[in-house]
Structures are given as structure tokens and as C-alpha cells.
Amino acid sequence: MSARAGIVVTGTEVLTGRVADRNGPWLSERLREIGVEHAHTLVVGDRPADIASALRFLAGEGMDLVVTSGGLGPTADDLTAEVVGAFQGRPMVLDAPLEARIGEILRPLLERFPDLDPEAIRASNRKQAVIPEGATILDPVGTAPGLVVPPPDGAGGPTVLVLPGPPRELQPLWAAATGTEPFRAAVRGATEFAQRTLRLFGIPESEIAETLRVAEEAHGLDGLEITTCLRRGEIEVVTRYEPASQPVFERLLETVRARHADTLFSEDGSTVDEQVAGLLRERGLTIATAESCTGGLLVGRLTDLAGSSDYVLGGLVVYANAAKIGLAGVDERLIERVGAVSIEVAEALADGARDRLGADLGVGITGVAGPGGGTEAKPVGLVCFSVAGPDGARLTRSSRLPGGRADIRDRSTTVAMHLVRRLLRGEADGSRNGAAATT
Amino acid sequence: MSARAGIVVTGTEVLTGRVADRNGPWLSERLREIGVEHAHTLVVGDRPADIASALRFLAGEGMDLVVTSGGLGPTADDLTAEVVGAFQGRPMVLDAPLEARIGEILRPLLERFPDLDPEAIRASNRKQAVIPEGATILDPVGTAPGLVVPPPDGAGGPTVLVLPGPPRELQPLWAAATGTEPFRAAVRGATEFAQRTLRLFGIPESEIAETLRVAEEAHGLDGLEITTCLRRGEIEVVTRYEPASQPVFERLLETVRARHADTLFSEDGSTVDEQVAGLLRERGLTIATAESCTGGLLVGRLTDLAGSSDYVLGGLVVYANAAKIGLAGVDERLIERVGAVSIEVAEALADGARDRLGADLGVGITGVAGPGGGTEAKPVGLVCFSVAGPDGARLTRSSRLPGGRADIRDRSTTVAMHLVRRLLRGEADGSRNGAAATT
């Protein structure tokens, strides 16, 4: 039986979705990496009673470790340290060295905002130096320290790791926590797991369900924990297993390869973004875009990766027809003849991006993102793509993408990424339209 | 005492963060709208025991309603309906009309993917027509129905609303559920709440903490539930209260207005994006961008809103210096003299965007997003912005933004949005640099 952990994400702003939680997922991955089972994440508002009941639930589920995020800030609704102290039966005490340390940290803030009242700021942050007695302090990255709070002396129950909410503070403090003695004691029972991620593009999820049934009947899937999901228009199959089940996973992989040769594009968890970046670097090629309906999201995605300036030259966002003509060099008569949303204009945009930016590859996208602007012939969700490369290489597609405006725009960037990948791998243009369609 | 609800988001892919949960936050807002208290969201993997313990926890906390999302798909790891059936003491039964309905829904899929085995698809989806006895069926939007599952006959406990995971299926089914008799019975005790959102830009969160303390001392904050958070570089203050506490909120609002006149930009919850769109429409102006470090994220953000083609003409993404020169018309000697990351080049980019796209407003952004490329004089996080408008109007800023590459890129779009807003409101250029700095 492995060590087990639960996560409590605090903050009414997270509960109600005004801020997306990045910490629960990130902590979950870290727990998996060190072989700790993670079954529950609880998101609770800034109410002490709700935080306390979340802690009690996880203790009742037999967790060895509970990780909390958030509620360590300077405002009065930040209460996590106090609630955890009470839960572990530890009185709150002011830690003088910590108070001095926070004072040091605040000095540059006061210099940057000279109008602020220094005493008010200090009072507001002194609260962050009041901690449960016996807790191990993790030195602040922002102004809030992390805390490792053991159960009451001599009693059982989970150790609670208290971390601040901002991810750039939480992440280094997690790393610091894993080196402390009370943390290591709490996760002593961790076991090793392997995890493998397969990615497929261009088939509905039900096809994978069928493949898993076939694999189960043919050779069993014992010892594998398999989860499948749709993600930005792709299917992701994640399998987790103890090392002894490696042969079972290998047989599953063979079955997936045999049934989905055309659509299985990643066996090592690499994303299409990473593969495109790798192929561009490997071949020493540059890329540029000309986007209409995606409005810059594709070039934004291409430049998400650090170092992308090595191969991304730039892009044209040509929302208005005048911009398509003036910036990307699309022939005005072509737009009049076939319309701005057409495979011909997508091709002209790809050529225009390549030409105007002097890039090896050009990508053109034009479509109807909606909610308005659809017609019977060109409905909302119709998007045309073209990728032009060296030596006349070209891939062009038109797809009917599902969902609302945001889905269509996001999914379009995935379709474009896959076309770029295929062109870079030298795959000939096939006849299949709608490669992006998924359910 | 108001009716209370909890949310259970299922899916190992959500628990581990491979897919971001959009449903918990969305459902939380809907519950608030109908006056139902929402205290906990539990995220659990696709394990029946974990889903069941989440349901037991929420029942133990006295919830009147539990809403689940996910786990209704065709794969074997989709188990929510079955677990909820067992929890409510209701055997699972095949609903023949529902099976026929799902068959109808699948027909176009089979036409779109002619290579698929129709029988395999049907078997895979028949499972979705097996439901807890006595549940109210909500007609599928995708292939999965929603279910309203009452507690065991004659017994107490929460009603469970079971919804599919994809947001575009979940959202219409939520609306359908609220019209059903068992749902209405479960939330009979709902009470009315008002909610007001204030947004500020350009001050650290500790300043708001101080303002709340001042307001508390001056006139009290009784009956207000106030949460503050940092969001994309802005501060959001959300206050929720029963109607009787309206005067208390009004006094708080006066205090915030008095102390933060310069930085309070929204009293009605409107976002800077919505305000910029409104101002452009109102004044009949168009906008275009020339972006370096943000790589198209600003124009992508400007075109997120439906109907943005009315005022967004397009943009230039000029990652390479050659693109800055060739596409945006930046003087090569200027780049040599002051460097690509400089307020002078930001101004030239704004002018270039305006000129090349024939727009009324041009926005230029250039900076060091990192992680590489920083120097002592121009460190990672230094970003220069300029907005040029009609009649020589201009606002230019340089800011040192905190965080990693993704934070810096995202935060930069917020700074740029605020500069555009200020220019559109005719606010003269002030002297304060670093308007974007927050802690």
C-alpha cells in the first residue's frame, strides 16, 4: 500500500472560477512523480469551517499527507495557517526571525511604490509570520513562507504541507518541502510507478474505447490504470503501472500501434507543439503564419515555447479582407470569386506568410469562428488550412470543427499544428478531409 | 439557511491536470446565481471508491444538491452513473427510448467516419443508456444524457445531478435540469444574494487589504463576504451579500473610490477587454497590433470577443528583427542604436501597425519574455509598450513584469489593454512608469 495524499486548494476566487487553479494539477503530478497516491483534490472557499471540514475528510480517508495551497496572503480572508494549526492542535506563535525576513523582502516593494504607508504594509504582512508551533518553516519566495505542520505530538493523522497560492511561489516551496524531515517521514511508504502517455489525432474517442476492449480480450490489461481523454481535439491515453506490469503495457502499445498507425503521433508523451519545434530545429527551417479566424492564436502557440525565436519569424493577422490583400498579398479577385473562407484563400495566405516573412514554411488559416457570420454553404466551424513548404510541398485541408467560438479557434490551432508536423515529416498529401473532426 | 450544494468533478485527466476543469467554476457561478450556497468542489479520479467517498462527504456536510461532471463517456473508465445509482440505492436499468435516441445521434458520426465498425460504436454507446431507476433523463446534447437522481424513496440526503464532462454538453443540460421537478425540490431553500465585482489595476494586493481594514474600522463590513484576488495582473474584489446589506456595500464602494480613484477601473464587473471593445465601437475606431515578445497573444485576446471583426483589422507578429523592419517598417538603424527592446522601437511598432493596417489605433509591444535573452540593462521581464491613436495621441510605458515566460507574456497583454483603454478615454500620458507592477 502506497503513501497517500490529498490536496486542498483554498480561495473563493478559485472555487468560483474567477481564477483557474493551476496548483492542484501541478501538485498532483509532483505527488505521482514521488510515488504517492493522489485520490482527491478539494477546492474550498475562504471559510475556516469549510477548510477544516476538507482537512477532516482527507484525514478520515487515511491520507498520510495533505497539501494545501493558498490563503497565506496579507488580507483578512487568508486563514489557512490558522485553520491548519487548530486542526493539528498547535497554538499560533509569532516567529521573530521570520518576521524580520519578511521585512527584508518587503523593502524593494516599498521603494517601488513610494506612496504606500510602510507601517500599514508591515502590519499587513506581520500576520504572515504567525505560524503553528512546531511547524517547519520554508523560506518565502514571495512574502509568504511555506509550512510543514506535523500531527499533534504522539498522535496519528496526516502531516499538512501549507503552501502559498501563487504558482511561482508554490513551486519552489514544494521543492524545498520535499527535503525536510517531517515531509519525508509522512511519505515514507511511497512506491514506484511508471507512466506512459500516448497521443492520437483524427479519430473519435469511441474508437479508443473499442481498442481497449479488444486489448482486454486478447491479452488482458491487468495492473494497468488507463485513462483516456479528449484534449484540444486530440485523444490522450495515459497508463500508469507498477514496474512488474511493463510487459502488459508493451502488449497494449502493440495493439494501439496496429489499430491506429495513421493517427498515433506520440508514444513518448511529447506534444505536437514539441514535435513541430523539434522538426523545425532539426531541419533548420523557419516558419511564419497568416491567420484570419484564429487571430494570432497559432503564432501565439508557436511562440509559447522558450527559444522559439530560433525558428518562428513572425506572423500576419489578417482579420479584415483589406489586410488579407494588403499584408498577405491575397488577390482581391480571388476573394471576390471564392470568398475569404475557402481553401484557395488559405493557400494564398500560406504563400503570403512564407513570402512576406521570408520563411521556409507558411501557414494560412481562414474560417468562420462564429457565433455570427455562418451561412449554409460556409457554416460556423468551417475552417480552411494550408501549409506551404520548400520545393512546392503543400498540405491543405478544410474541416468542420465542433463547439463554440473559443473551441473552434483553439481546435484550429491544433489542426494547423498537425498539418505542419506532417509536412515537416514529408508525408504526402492524402485525400482525407476532416482530419480534425472528433466527437 | 440557504439550500447548499457541492460539486464533484470526476476524471483522472482533470485530477492530474492534463485537462483543465472548466465545469467546477462554471457550475459554481450558476449555483450562486440561483442563490444556492456552494462550499466545496471535489476533484476525483475515475475510481468508483473515490467518487463514492466524495458523495458521502458532501452528504455528510448536509448538502441538498450534489452536481457531478464527467464520467459518462463510452469508455470503461466512465463510471459516474453507476456509482451515483449505487449511492442513491437505485438499480441500473437499460432505458430503451434513450438507447434509440443515442442511436439517432450516432448516425452522422458513422457517416463522417465510414471506416468505423458501426456495431462496435453502438455497443460502446449503449452503456450510456443504462441509468439509475427513477432518474429523470435530460436529453443528450452530445451522446451522453444528463440525469437527476433523487435520494432513495422515503429517505433523506442530497439529490444528485449527473452531467457529462464536455462543457458544451454540460452547460445546456444544466439549464434543462433547473426546470425539472426533482431539481427544484432539492434547491427549494435557496435565498437571494447580490454580487458586485470591482477591478483595479496598478497597485499591490496589500493596498486593498489596508483599504478593507480602514473600511472595517470606519463603518464596519457586516453582512459582506469579500474576496480579493490577483488575476492576470489585476486585482479583483468580489463582494457577496444579502439585499439587506446593500447600504454596507455602498459605504465600502465609497471608501474604495476615494482611496483608489486612479486604479479602480471597473465597478460593474466589466473586464478591460469588454471596456476596450465598447470604447472602440462607441467611437467607431479600428485597431491593429505589432507584437514581438507576446507573439500574437494580444491580437488573439482582442479577437476573443465575438464581433471583434468590427474593429480589429489585424496584426503583425514581428518576432525576428527582419520582420520588425520589413513588415512593421521599423528603421533598421533605430534597432541598431537602441536595441529591439526599447520604448523607441515600441513606438515605431505602434506606428507601423497603425500605418500598415490602416487602423485608427496601433499597439506596439517588445520585450524580453525569457527564460533566455536577458541582460543586466534589459532583464527578463522588461517589456516596452506603445499605443498610438488619432491626432498624435500616444501612451508609452516600459514595465518590469514578474514571473516566468508565460506570466510575462500574459501580463503584457493586460498592460497593453489598459494603455489602449486609457488612450481611448482620452487620458493624458502621466509620468508613472511600472504601472503594471504588482506583487
**Inter-chain CB proximity A15 and B25 less than 8 Å:** yes
pLDDT at B434: 38
Q: Which three cell numbers stand for residue A212?
A: 481497449
Rounded mean pLDDT of B124-140?
Answer: 89
Rounded mean pLDDT of A377-382?
Answer: 95
**Inter-chain CB proximity A318 and B317 less than 8 Å:** no
**Inter-chain CB proximity B29 and A50 less than 8 Å:** no
Which of A43, A203, A305 to mutate to probe the B interface, most B CBs <10 Å? A43
Rounded mean pLDDT of B162-187?
Answer: 94
| Among A94-108, A356-370, A392-406, B76-90, the least confident range | A94-108
H or E, element range at A272: helix A272-283
Residues of A in contact with B402 (CB under 8 A): 168
In this structure, how many other beta carbons lie within 10 angstroms of the beta carbon of residue B155? 9
pLDDT tier, A32 (very low <50, low <70, confident <90, very high otherwise) = confident
Residues of B in contact with A304 (CB under 8 A): 295, 405-406, 409
H or E, element range at A27: helix A23-33
Which of A24, A29, A28 is closest to A11 using CA atoms? A24
Contact call for residues B78 and B87 (beta carbons, < 8 A): no
Q: Where are the beta strands (DSSP E) in B356-409?
A: 361-367, 382-388, 394-400
Q: pTM for this one?
A: 0.80
Q: Is the pLDDT of residue B69 over 80?
A: yes
Q: Is the pLDDT of residue A108 over 60?
A: yes
Residue A18: φ, ψ to 5°: -70, -30
Specify the pairing of strand A234-241 against strand A194-201.
Answer: antiparallel
Which of B76, B273, B343 is closest to A237 using CA atoms? B76
pLDDT tier, A433 (very low <50, low <70, confident <90, very high otherwise) = very low
pLDDT at A434: 38
Residues of B in contact with A70 (CB under 8 A): none
Rounded mean pLDDT of B140-168?
Answer: 91
Q: Where are the beta strands (DSSP E) in A170-252?
A: 194-201, 224-231, 234-241
pLDDT at A239: 93
Distance CA A415, CA A433 (A): 11
Which of A274, A276, A260, A278 is closest to A200 using CA atoms? A260
Rounded mean pLDDT of B390-401?
Answer: 95
pLDDT digits (tens, 9 = 90+) for A128-159: 899 999 999 999 888 789 999 999 987 889 99
Q: Of B227, B403, B405, which has the smallest distance from its Cβ to A13's Cβ?
A: B227
Average pLDDT score, chain A: 90
Angstrom CA distances, A338 to A293, A329, A330, A332, stand at 17, 16, 12, 10
pLDDT digits (tens, 9 = 90+) for B273-314: 999 999 999 999 999 999 999 999 999 999 999 999 999 999
Residues of B in contact with A24 (CB under 8 A): 15, 17, 43
Q: Is the pLDDT of residue A118 over 80?
A: no
Helix (H, G, I), strand (E, B) or coil at A187: coil
Q: What residue of B is the nearest CA neighbor of A57?
A: B57
Q: Is the pLDDT of residue B139 over 70?
A: yes
**Inter-chain CB proximity B295 and A318 less than 8 Å:** no
Q: Is the pLDDT of residue B143 over 70?
A: yes
| Distance between A181 CA and the closest CA of chain B, angstroms | 26
Instruction: Report how far Cα A367 is from the mean position of its chain's Cα atoms.
Output: 26
Largest CA distance in chain B: 83
Q: Is the pLDDT of residue B39 over 90?
A: no
Distance CA A168, CA B155 (A): 48
Q: Is the pLDDT of residue B103 over 70?
A: yes
**Inter-chain CB proximity B77 and A227 less than 8 Å:** yes
Q: Of B13, B44, B168, which has the smallest distance from its Cβ to A227's Cβ?
A: B13
Distance CA A257, CA A268 (A): 13
**Inter-chain CB proximity B227 and A46 less than 8 Å:** yes
Distance CA B224, CA B212 (A): 11
A230 touches B at CB < 8 Å: yes
Q: Which three cell numbers stand for residue A276?
A: 513541430
B170 touches A at CB < 8 Å: no
Q: Of B25, B75, B434, which has the smallest distance from its Cβ to A212's Cβ?
A: B75
Contact call for residues A298 and A324 (beta carbons, < 8 A): no
Angstrom CA distances, B190 to A17, A354, B244, stand at 21, 59, 16
Contact call for residues A175 and A209 (beta carbons, < 8 A): no
pLDDT tier, B429 (very low <50, low <70, confident <90, very high otherwise) = low
* Helix orientation angle between A118-126 and A96-112, rounded to the nearest 10 degrees: 140
Contact call for residues A273 and A280 (beta carbons, < 8 A): no
Residue B114: φ, ψ to 5°: -65, -15
pLDDT digits (tens, 9 = 90+) for B250-279: 999 999 999 999 999 999 999 999 999 999
**Inter-chain CB proximity A308 and B298 less than 8 Å:** no
pLDDT at B392: 93
Residues of B in contact with A17 (CB under 8 A): 22, 24-26, 28-29
Q: Of A24, A77, A373, which has the smallest distance from its Cβ to B226's Cβ?
A: A77
Distance CA A213, CA B313 (A): 51
Helix (H, G, I), strand (E, B) or coil at A235: strand
Rounded mean pLDDT of A58-78?
Answer: 88
Q: Which three cell numbers stand for residue A407?
A: 473551441
pLDDT at B305: 95
Q: Which three cell numbers stand for residue A91?
A: 497554538
Distance CA A299, CA A312 (A): 8
**Inter-chain CB proximity A17 and B25 less than 8 Å:** yes
Q: Is the pLDDT of residue A240 over 60?
A: yes
Q: Where are the alpha helices (DSSP H) in B284-342?
A: 297-302, 321-326, 332-338
Check residues A337 and A103 and name the one with the higher pLDDT: A337
pLDDT tier, B1 (very low <50, low <70, confident <90, very high otherwise) = low
B208 touches A at CB < 8 Å: yes
Q: Is the pLDDT of residue A301 over 70?
A: yes
H or E, element range at B153: none
Count Cα neighbours of B230 within 13 Å in the Cβ-side half-sphere. Answer: 23
Specify the pairing of strand B225-231 against strand B234-241.
Answer: antiparallel
Angstrom CA distances, B223 to B148, B179, B212, B220, B249, stand at 34, 31, 14, 9, 9
**Inter-chain CB proximity B53 and A38 less than 8 Å:** no
B77 touches A at CB < 8 Å: yes
Residues of A in contact with B14 (CB under 8 A): 25
SS3 of B181-229: the string is: HHHHHHCCCCCCCEEEEEEEECCCHHHHHHHHHHHHHHHCCCCCEEEEE
Give this complex's ipTM: 0.77
H or E, element range at A39: strand A37-44
pLDDT at B439: 28
pLDDT at A102: 86
Percent of chain A with pLDDT over 70: 95
Residues of A in contact with B21 (CB under 8 A): 21
pLDDT at A44: 94
Rounded mean pLDDT of A369-389?
Answer: 95
Q: Which residues contact A42 (CB under 8 A, 6 or more apart)?
A: A6, A7, A8, A9, A54, A57, A58, B40, B41, B42, B43
Q: Is the pLDDT of residue B433 over 50?
A: no
Contact call for residues B325 and B352 (beta carbons, < 8 A): no
